[in-house]
Amino acid sequence: MERASQMTLRILVVAPLFQEWYAGHFILRAAKSLGFGVLGFDYRFPFNLKDIYIRGRGVDELWRSILRRVPVLPTVFVTNFNRRLVKVSCKYRPDLVLVCEGELLKEAALERIRRVVGSKLVFWTFDDPQLIERHLKVARWYDYCLTNSLHAVQTYKENGITSVSYLPWGCDPHIHKRIILDDLKDATYKSDVCLYGGFHARRVVFLRKISDIRLGIWGRGWNRLPSDDPLRKLWKGSIIWLTELVKMYSGAKIALNIQRTETTATTTTSRMWEATACGAMLLTEKVSGIDLAFEVGKEVICYENKEDLREKVMFYLSNEEIRKKVASRGQARCRRNHTVSNRLKKIIRLCKP
């Protein structure tokens, strides 16, 4: 990156950009705020049409019907945007190509960018360990691999990928912040305890222990529950816009993190950064990396099991001053140390010769 030391660093962010809540948009804003030259490239469109949701249901039937009629289309799209990626890179000449997930990219395209442009190639995933097998196949194409899971670091190294570091997601203080809600217009976003996450049997087990309080459940798939189920009645729908996410956490006293079975205890999640940055008190199970990010017991609270979850929910709801102090300290820590801008600075340091 010698050329970058004499002029503005240029970054090409290769990531899904179809929706405003995709990680790529946060990285683009962070890069601009740091004064870097930056360009976004959405490698996944139109495959991410399935991420359009209305009332918790995907609006991708048209896209799937087209694929049934023209099954060769995916191959055509993948070939086309790999070619475009090389073309854009050769024209923009980035010092750093930062790829988020990148499951549709080809090794030949990335190698040509490295050879012709001389860019550093960085792979950053937020889906370990559940997609670790897929990531192990592609991580060796890059100069650096960044994973959201502490446990996954050792797995990469055991598979010969030595340039790997732990780098979780973070918050954007300009977006993730406490806001004042309108008592009437925003009443649906107010709760004593909220959970943002898709339907999962493990979450159901924990939430049943606190279904008698003012609980707000947000996420996809909860309409699978019977209409007369107490949890179904507490389901508010899916989060469609970033403003809704901020309102949900701003309207909650306590934000829960109940992980899916496949990620339990192995990684931090975006909920942790978003909830704390928005000023909700985070109540989470003990997961790898949380004690590196927060002072457990003072900035965030951890529970051991479903009985402990209920006990701690009731305690902190009954002790407002203590709860607010925990929430305030967690918010300050997150907005100070765990921003996307800070994560990007670390990536830049890694890429320096």
DSSP 77-122: HHHHHHHHHHHHHHHH--SEEEEES-TT--HHHHHHHHHHT--EEE
Q: Give every CB contact of residue 348 below 8 A, 6+ residues apart in sequence.
A: 9, 96
CATH topology of domain 3-170+339-351: Rossmann fold (3.40.50)
pLDDT at position 54: 44
pLDDT in tens, the chain (353 residues): 544 444 689 999 999 998 888 899 999 999 999 999 999 999 887 776 655 554 444 555 666 676 777 777 778 888 999 999 999 999 999 999 999 989 899 999 999 999 999 999 999 999 898 899 999 999 999 999 999 999 999 999 999 999 999 999 999 999 999 999 998 999 999 999 999 999 999 999 999 999 999 999 999 899 999 999 999 999 999 888 899 999 999 999 999 999 887 666 778 889 999 999 999 999 999 998 999 999 999 999 999 999 999 999 999 999 999 999 999 999 999 999 999 999 999 999 988 76
CA 199 – CA 263 distance, rounded (Å): 14
CA 318 – CA 251 distance, rounded (Å): 17
CATH 3.40.50.300 fits 187-337, yes or no: no
The answer to whether the beta carbons of residues 283 and 313 sit under 8 Å apart is yes
* CATH topology identical between 3-170+339-351 and 187-337: yes
Question: Domains of the chain: which residue ranges?
Answer: 3-170+339-351, 187-337
